[in-house]
């Protein structure tokens, strides 16, 4: 595979991480930038590690993981997205009723870990195909991880800007995006 092909592959794999990064910036608008900056790191690392796992475990677990990847992704992102929609609606209702808005949760390392796994499950299958094509694994996964991290940095900047413009509706939109990604993964 050429560098261009690997970068395009990295861009395709990073689409879910890009969307989740934007959604998280909507949901966690008051989070410290240092915590938000962990998203490109987590998503980039997991997009790089999952193809390695697929490369080495491909024959053993690929069919099993591919069979349940959509369901697992839908459940994880559906729960997180549903919670974001619920919190966004609560915030809007609180504003209408002149009540103080409920305190938002924190973007914990656990949430980042679970989201990183959910968005990188499809990269496992890519690892299987990388083995079949006999590519330079280290170069390929580093390129995929770096591409994902760069896309997430862009998403972080976009999400912060859009979140400011959209207000509490941004959290609802972000939750709907996560649920949509989960549904897409289930149907794929």
- In 10 A of CB 57, how many CB atoms? 15
Report whether 33 contacts 163 (CB < 8 A): no
For residue 93, what are the CA distances in angstroms to 47, 90, 96, 137?
A: 38, 5, 5, 51
Which pLDDT band, with edges at 50, 70 and 90, does 103 fall under? very low
Residues 6+ apart with CB under 8 A from 71: 186
Residues of the chain with pLDDT > 90, as a percent, come to 26
Report whether 4 contacts 120 (CB < 8 A): no
Residues 6+ apart with CB under 8 A from 17: 39, 43, 44, 47, 116, 119, 120, 148, 151, 152, 155
How much is the average pLDDT of 111-115? 91
Q: Which domain holds residue 161?
A: 3-187
Q: Where on the phi/psi map is residue 98: left (φ > 0), alpha (ψ -120 to 50), or beta? A: left
- Cα(32)–Cα(73) distance, integer angstroms: 27
Q: Please give the torsion angle defined by the CA atoms of residues 145, 68, 58 and 48, in that order, rounded to the nearest 10 degrees.
A: 10
Q: Which two tokens stand for residue 117?
A: 């796994």
CA 24 to chain centre: 9
As a whole number, the mean pLDDT across the chain is 81
For residue 175, what are the CA distances in angstroms to 100, 118, 157?
A: 22, 15, 18
| Lowest pLDDT segment from 34-38, 159-163, 172-176 | 172-176
- Cα(45)–Cα(152) distance, integer angstroms: 12
pLDDT, residue 113, reads 94
**What is the count of structural domains for the chain?**
1
């Amino acid at each position: 595979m050429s560098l261009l092909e690997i970068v395009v592959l990295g861009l395709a794999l990073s689409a879910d991480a890009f969307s989740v990064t934007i959604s998280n910036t909507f949901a966690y608008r008051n989070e410290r930038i240092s915590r938000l900056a962990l998203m490109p790191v987590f998503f980039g690392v997991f997009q790089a590690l999952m193809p390695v796992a697929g490369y080495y475990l491909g024959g053993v677990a690929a069919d099993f993981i591919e069979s349940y990847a959509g369901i697992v992704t839908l459940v994880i992102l559906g729960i997180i997205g549903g919670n974001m929609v619920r919190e966004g609606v609560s915030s809007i209702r609180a504003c209408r009723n002149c009540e103080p808005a409920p305190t938002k949760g924190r973007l914990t390392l656990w949430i980042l870990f679970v989201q990183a796994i959910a968005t990188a499950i499809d990269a496992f299958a890519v690892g299987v195909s990388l083995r079949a094509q006999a590519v330079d694994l280290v170069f390929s996964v580093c390129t995929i991880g770096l591409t994902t991290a760069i896309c997430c940095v862009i998403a972080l900047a976009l999400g912060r800007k859009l979140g400011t413009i959209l207000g509490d509706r941004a959290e609802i939109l972000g939750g709907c995006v996560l649920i949509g990604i989960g549904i897409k993964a289930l149907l794929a």
